[in-house]
Structure 1
């Protein structure tokens, strides 16, 4: 999918690719936890939360700058929610919450360790 974030160089991680044209590809097997906070997981917000979580992960791992790209990622979340059926009021509320509380989640200091289940 095309996103409004265009890094200076192509980014390729195990589960997320983002090229210099803003083409984001989240690979099969990527794990995310749906929307954060009190926002319920619904069919209408899961696609937006997937893209948003992938972009924030790239910020946490210093592939893209949170200072430059957090606001566009938050705006994209709002836009995608509305496209998928979230009301304008709810999408605007989610956006305001992201702007107020989301900064730590985009910070490299909040980098999360990946855990894998053992193979049977």
Structure 2
């Protein structure tokens, strides 16, 4: 029987309109991507550390008890893409999660967030972000018909 596999994405608030590249210090041994060979990937991370996020990528923006401000948007996009690579077990969260969290703080500061807010953003993802980097369970997917 033909089936589709799908997931409810009701929690995503934003969709990237243009592709965005960001140079990171996270340098995996091999090219990592979320997608399928031969089609446009949503997220790519090269061995040189270049993170590519293509148009159409959806993310939930800043998480937790916070306000979605311009100084938080770029950091949340990059952080969510890196965490998704961890959830998909492409990027080792034991090695790279803390670096992704620090990168979030650095980008927020560069984009104009005050240092106190950037500090508590970092502390919150360190304290509560682990579950968002863990692999998704198959039961979260649905089949139809």
When structure 1 is superposed on structure 2, of 29-38 and 5-14 the one drifting more is: 5-14
Q: Which has the higher contact order (CA 8 A, sep 6+)?
A: 2
CA distance change for structure 1 residues 110 and 35 in 2, over 3 Å: closer, same or farther? farther
Instruction: Report SS of the residue matched to 1:108.
Output: coil
**Correspondence 1:1-120 to 2 at 5 A:** 1-13=22-34, 14-109=41-136
- Pairwise CA RMSD of aligned residues? 1.9
When residues 100 and 24 of structure 1 are mapped into structure 2, their CA distance, relative to the original with a 3 A threshold, is same
Bigger share in helix: 1
Q: Secondary structure at the match of 1:8?
A: coil
The 4+ residue runs of structure 1 with deviation greater than 4 A are none
Gaps of 5+ in 2: 1-21, 35-40
Task: Give the greater-gyration-radius structure (CA).
Answer: 2
Taking structure 1 as the reference length, the TM-score comes to 0.90
- How many pairs were matched up? 115
State TM-score, norm by structure 2.
0.75
Structure 1: which 5+ runs fail to align? 115-120
